[in-house]
Amino acid sequence: MESSRLRGNAATALKILLVGPKRTGKSSTGNTLLGRGQVFDTRGGGASTARRAFTAGRQLTVVDAQGWGSSEEFVPKEEKIEQLRALSLCGTEGPHVVLLIVPLLDFTEQERKAVERRMEVYGSSVWRHTMVVFTFGDCLNRRACSVQEHISSGGPALQWLMEKCRYRYQVLDNKAAVTGKRGLKQEVNRIGRKLENTWWKKDELQLGRVSRKGEADVMRELGQKQVREMLSKIEDILHENGGWHFSLHMYQRLEEEWSRRESELRAWLKADVGNERGKQKREETKVKAEPEQEHKLEEAMQEQSLRKERKDDCEETRINQGKDEEVGVRVELRRLSSEGDEWYSSSVNVEEKEEVV
């Protein structure tokens, strides 16, 4: 299954960046990956180098970055420049995966800080593409423990490293490609090996009859097995990242875009929550105000009714007053009329008397 998946992607060159401290087996890891002997100089101290080869069914481009020092407080300017130059050797798209080389020894707090400072040069997004490669894998046999036991007992510094890499790791024994009959005997005794359609026995007699060509085949098969396991895990990392390369500038742009969208989303959520709260507050106010409004409406209706009654009373009073005035006028007219009649009558009588005289 794994080999078919790798063959399906064989047309695509896989770009790998090797980073780590000096004297940790970083260049040897590159040689094991390429399977072409001493491609990278294992003496250390050299500049970052890129090499290509077809191995384990894949076209690989491996960049061996210059090893960094042990300073934990700051990163020298020369180291930063060399780290960025190693990244540029992977091409414009960048590497698919970053292999952080760490010896299978005690991982101290000082080493943790040194790793943290160097990886900060690439930005926090580099951890999405990073896998730890534990070198000196033969130490597990001497300790008679598994890599899981080594990690669980490694202390907080190693736990931090595992969490940053999402517990993606691979144990590598770079000595498997250069060991002699002793290493071959140990491997055959452990699992047995089928060479040229023949199962070799585990005794010293049969091991002595293995030709030099057979030894080379066994060692090459051991190296290829480790490489296949590592490439399978790299394929998983590629799948997790959607097949993306690691590009410093691309992730900077993506982080800016993500920050912008996050700010917009937060503002939208805040406004939406504010609208909901405002609506809820209006509803609560409405519920509270309804009894008061009903009471005020009743008072207003009562007051309006009283005003109407008062208006009717006033109108009736005005009408009554008018009637009274009219009656009074009539009475006055009658009085005046009667007085006039009396005056007229008296005047007529006087005249009559004067005429008689």
Kindly report the CATH class assigned to 2-246: alpha beta
**For 149-168, what is each residue's pLDDT tens digit?**
999 998 999 999 999 999 99
What's the farthest any 2 CA atoms get from each other in the chain? 201
Whole-prediction pTM value?
0.62
3-class SS of residue 136: coil
Rounded to an integer, the average pLDDT of 218-234 is 83
Characterize the bridge pairing of strands 194-195 and 198-199.
antiparallel
Q: Between 196 and 51, where is the model more confident?
A: 51
Per-residue pLDDT for 180 more than 50?
Answer: no
Q: Where are the domains of the chain?
A: 2-246
pLDDT above 70 as % of the chain: 59
Determine the pLDDT at residue 269.
85
Per-residue pLDDT for 326 more than 70?
Answer: no
DSSP state letter for 138: T
Residue 275 binned pLDDT confidence (cut-offs 50, 70, 90): confident
Nearest Cα to Cα of residue 184 among 207, 213, 203: 207
Q: Could you give phi then psi for residue 41, rounded to 5 degrees?
A: -75, 120
The residues near 161 (Cβ < 8 Å, ≥ 6 apart) are: 102, 107, 112, 115, 132
What count of residues does the chain have? 357
Determine the pLDDT at residue 297.
58
Rounded to an integer, the average pLDDT of 294-311 is 66
Helix (H) or strand (E) holding 28: helix 26-34
DSSP state letter for 124: G
**For 90-116, what is each residue's pLDDT tens digit?**
988 899 999 999 999 899 999 999 999
Contact 17, 86 (CB under 8 A): yes
The residues near 99 (Cβ < 8 Å, ≥ 6 apart) are: 16, 17, 18, 19, 29, 130, 131, 132, 133
Q: Which residue has the tokens 């691309």?
A: 250
Q: Could you give phi then psi for residue 59, rounded to 5 degrees?
A: -85, 115
Determine the pLDDT at residue 185.
47
Determine the pLDDT at residue 308.
65
Q: Which residue has the tokens 């020369």?
A: 78
Determine the pLDDT at residue 213.
55
Per-residue pLDDT for 223 more than 60?
Answer: yes
Per-residue pLDDT for 51 more than 70?
Answer: yes
Provide the mean pLDDT of the chain. Answer: 76
Per-residue pLDDT for 216 more than 70?
Answer: no
Q: Between 39 and 252, where is the model more confident?
A: 39
3-class SS of residue 346: helix
Nearest Cα to Cα of residue 129 among 226, 34, 247: 247
